[in-house]
Amino acid sequence: MNNLNNTVQLIGRLGADPEVKTLKGDRRVVRMRLATSETYYNKAGEKVQETQWHTLVAWGGLADVCANHLTKGQEIAIEGKLNYRIYTDKDDNKQFFTEITVNDLLMISGRKAG
């Protein structure tokens, strides 16, 4: 149970192709948007589907795997940790971000033909 601190596990579909950036020292980072959906029936018996969007971040070798093998619509499973970032923009407004730093990834569906 020692590894359960701040652990997130999700299965969902990518909302867009991964966005790759190369930082100083040739360090690569990938940002992705993951949609997770839940379906249930409301009191009126109507089927309701709710979708939540999550921002994923992957670094280094895992970023390279994501950039080279993942595409929009692909179903993946991830394990990672939850991170919060706050910064003040040029108009002095605080911006809040919640991200999941991916530690492990499994491709559930094959690569989509583009």
In a domain, 98, yes or no: yes
* Rounded Cα gap, residues 104 and 92, in angstroms: 36
Task: Tell whether 3 is covered by a domain.
Answer: no
Low-confidence ranges of the chain (pLDDT < 70): 1-3, 110-114
* 37 belongs to a structural domain: yes
pLDDT of residue 26: 87
> In this structure, is residue 1 part of a structural domain?
no
> Is position 64 within any domain?
yes
Per-residue pLDDT tens digits for 5-30: 899 999 999 999 999 999 998 899 99
What's the domain range around 23? 11-107
Please indicate, yes or no, if residue 2 is contained in any of the structural domains: no
Q: Is residue 113 part of a domain?
A: no
Number of domains, the chain: 1
CATH number at residue 65: 2.40.50.140
Please check whether residue 31 lies inside any domain of the structure.
yes
What is the model's pTM? 0.84
CA 92 to the chain's CA centroid:
28
* Distance separating alpha carbons of residues 79 and 105, to the nearest angstrom: 7
CB of 113 within 8 A of CB of 97?
A: no
